[in-house]
Amino acid sequence: MAHTHSSRRSTMWARNVVSVLAFFALALALPSQNCEHKVKETIVPPRGWTIFGSAPPDHLIKLRIGLPQSNFDLLEEHLYAISDPYHDRYGAHLTTKEIHELVAPHPDSVGAVENWLASHGIADNDITRSSAGDWLTVTLPVNLVEKMLDTKYHIWHKNGEYIVRTTSYSLPKNVHDHVELVQPTTMFGTFKKLKSTIHSVSPITSQAESQKSQPFFDSTTGLTVDASCNTTITITCLQQIYNAVGYTPSANVGNSIGIAAYLEDFANRADLQTFFEDQVPAAAAANATFQFISVKDGLDSQDPDQAGAESALDTQFAFGLTFPVASTFFSTGGRPPFIPSVGTPTDTNEPYTDWLDFVLSHPNPPLSISTSYGDEEQTVPESFAKRACSEFAQLGARGVSLMFSSGDGGVGDGDPDPETTECITNDGLNRTQFIPGFPASCPFVTAVGGTILFPEQGVDFSGGGFSNYFERPSYQDAAVQAFLDKLAPGTYSGLFNPNGRAFPDVSAQSDFFRIFIAGQPFHIGGTSASSPAFAGFVALLNDARLRKGLPSLGFLNPLFYSKAAAGFNDITVGNNPGCGTPGFNATEGWDAVTGLGT
């Protein structure tokens, strides 16, 4: 195997050299490009990243060029109309064709960018286009990209990771307004997993499971919940806490649920079967499993010793809650490690955009999708965050509900000790500030925070706060302003943006989830547990609607903040410390710990 792998690397290396030489020769044969450039974007490198050295000139970059979406404002109008339960168009989701027509770039932009690429020897068949034509992708050597963008790439280093990036790039003046962004350039975000710790690495013993007290009755909700749910969360616990006992969805109404995973994480099918045997006997009897979709070489080795805890948690609870609804697991290939001393491996694009490319072109994406990955908003360039957010809007317009974990750092780093706080801005001013997370801060997704125990209270790691990139959307104006009005004057002044999009929107249980890894039960927690759990209940709601011939819920937030607000359990206990502060408090109505509630 090692010899075969070496041969493949040699073949790929030879092809890359030929490709680089061809580009170089063609560039020499073309007229010199003396077009005056104008700066498109400049950033301060995020804290912790340092220059390791210059990028090798023949290092290949998969360059993605985002063209302005010509009528996104109209798409946004459509989205809010079809997501407003009081609008006569509620639920009238758009088709893929209709969305593509709204986001397709203007022909002038297409022509200007194609001419610019051609002037550098890039032929039309070298370019890959997104389904709407709003992204152009081409693989090029660093030396050519540096010339095109009038920039200099370096190898950047942080905690054993190496990436090839720049902190500023420019475009010819005649192209400048026809390009929204170019990546990978200034994108240093790593899109990491959002989970806290596995609370027990020892098998949960049957003896411990048998020590149960009498069920607990909550007079506020009128629900009866097993006392064991205060120490271990199971499918039964979630059904009891959220009033879904005895509800069995249909497999025949076109319903679906999906989990998106990254960074080489994959779900083990044998562990899912063990989980079903433990908690969903009907699914075990049916030998139920999920459809696996690999995006850009996403892994599915099924080696039990390599299976991810994140994917185990996501699939076991999301699919356990919704059996027999059609379930899909997306595994998107991650950025391979760049090792400066070993050849010049291709520096792939951020995996998140690869998944978005794929799902936006998918003819029938799952109607409820959960993602437990994200990053600090400030590590993601604002241009990239806003473009990705606009693509979430496209999915919402198609009738897809998107859930994202709100994060596990409270209002920032999750540490109330001011001596160890990491809540420092990346703008070069090194200001102390609460750190919102992305994509939770995007107004077109539903951010899910965390609760614990029963009766429920906000868990201390529940990510919450206010975006510095996105303005507060109108659908949450009243709820969020009521929360801000309750704060004492001057509370956390300068530490957050009171006019920003507020999150989380909702919350769910987020700790002591009983999952199986390599055949053994574990406890695990984080908002990475609450997001797939909430997505499961959204799928159950979709089932109820589809059975009646109604469309799926789609983009949830306008419904949640209006007509459906009364359907939530308001959480009024708890806080989310961080950045040397106690964080925000859970309170009556919306709050920045648990959102509207559970």
Residue found by looking up tokens 């806490």 in the block: 241
Residues 128 and 234 in one domain: no
Determine if residue 300 is labeled as part of a ligand binding site.
Answer: no
Residues 246 and 184 in one domain: no
Residues 147 and 242 in one domain: no
Question: How many Cβ atoms sit within 10 Å of the Cβ of residue 503?
Answer: 31
- Cα separation, 387 vs 179, whole angstroms: 12
Q: Report if residue 341 sits inside a domain.
A: no
Residue 418 is predicted with a pLDDT of: 66
Residues 176 and 289 in one domain: no
Question: Can you read off the two tokens belonging to residue 40?
Answer: 């498109």
Question: Can you read off the two tokens belonging to residue 345?
Answer: 């491996």
Residues 287 and 155 in one domain: no
Q: Report if residue 470 sits inside a domain.
A: yes
Residues 157 and 238 in one domain: no
Residues 479 and 535 in one domain: yes
Residue 262 is predicted with a pLDDT of: 83
Q: Report if residue 465 sits inside a domain.
A: yes
pTM here is 0.90
Determine if residue 589 is labeled as part of a ligand binding site.
Answer: yes
| Catalytic-role residue among 528, 530, 531, 552 | 528
| Catalytic-role residue among 41, 58, 134, 314 | 314
Q: Report if residue 587 sits inside a domain.
A: no
Q: Are strands 154-158 and 50-54 parallel, antiparallel or unpaired?
A: antiparallel
Q: Report if residue 99 sits inside a domain.
A: no
| Catalytic-role residue among 134, 150, 265, 310 | 310
Q: What angle do CA 262, 267, 268 make, to 5 degrees?
A: 155
Residues 225 and 172 in one domain: no
CA-based diameter of the chain, in Å?
A: 83
Contacts of 550 (CB under 8 A, 6+ apart): 91
Residues 299 and 226 in one domain: yes
Question: Can you read off the two tokens belonging to residue 114?
Answer: 């194609």
Range of the domain at 134: 15-69+104-188
Residue 200 is predicted with a pLDDT of: 41
Indicate the number of domains in the chain: 2
**Axis-axis angle for helices 382-397, 351-361 (nearest 10):** 20
Residue 336 is predicted with a pLDDT of: 53
Query: Which phi and psi (to 5°) does residue 538 adopt?
Result: -65, -40
For the residues of 68-135, what is the DSSP string, one character each?
A: P-TTHHHHHHHHHHHH-TTSTTTT-PPPHHHHHHHHPPPHHHHHHHHHHHHHTT--GGG-EE-TTS-E
Contacts of 120 (CB under 8 A, 6+ apart): 27, 30, 33, 144, 147, 148
Residues 172 and 244 in one domain: no
Determine if residue 515 is labeled as part of a ligand binding site.
Answer: no
Determine if residue 570 is labeled as part of a ligand binding site.
Answer: yes
Residue found by looking up tokens 């975000």 in the block: 189
Q: Report if residue 74 sits inside a domain.
A: no
Residues 299 and 430 in one domain: yes
List the CATH number of the domain containing 530.
Answer: 3.40.50.200
Residues 152 and 264 in one domain: no
Last residue of a domain, one of 173, 188, 203: 188
- Cα separation, 489 vs 499, whole angstroms: 15
Q: Report if residue 210 sits inside a domain.
A: no
Q: Residue-wise pLDDT tens for the chain (598 aa)?
A: 444 444 443 444 444 444 444 444 444 444 444 579 999 999 998 888 899 999 999 998 999 999 999 999 999 999 999 999 999 999 999 999 999 999 999 999 999 999 999 999 999 999 999 999 999 999 999 999 999 999 999 999 888 788 899 999 999 999 999 999 999 999 987 666 655 443 344 456 554 444 457 888 888 788 889 999 999 999 999 999 999 999 999 999 999 999 998 877 789 999 999 999 999 999 999 999 999 999 988 878 888 777 778 899 999 999 999 999 999 999 988 655 556 654 444 544 467 788 999 999 999 999 999 999 888 899 889 999 999 999 999 999 999 999 999 999 999 987 776 666 679 888 888 899 999 999 999 999 999 999 999 999 999 999 999 999 999 999 999 999 999 999 999 999 999 999 999 999 999 999 999 999 999 999 999 999 999 999 999 999 999 999 999 999 999 999 999 999 999 999 999 999 999 999 999 999 999 999 999 9
Residues facing 162 on adjacent strands = 157
Q: Report if residue 80 sits inside a domain.
A: no
Q: Which helix (H) or strand (E) holds 5?
A: helix 2-29
Residue 528 bears catalytic tag:
yes
For the residues of 260-301, what is the DSSP string, one character each?
A: EE-TT----HHHHHHHHHHH-HHHHHTT---EEEEESS----
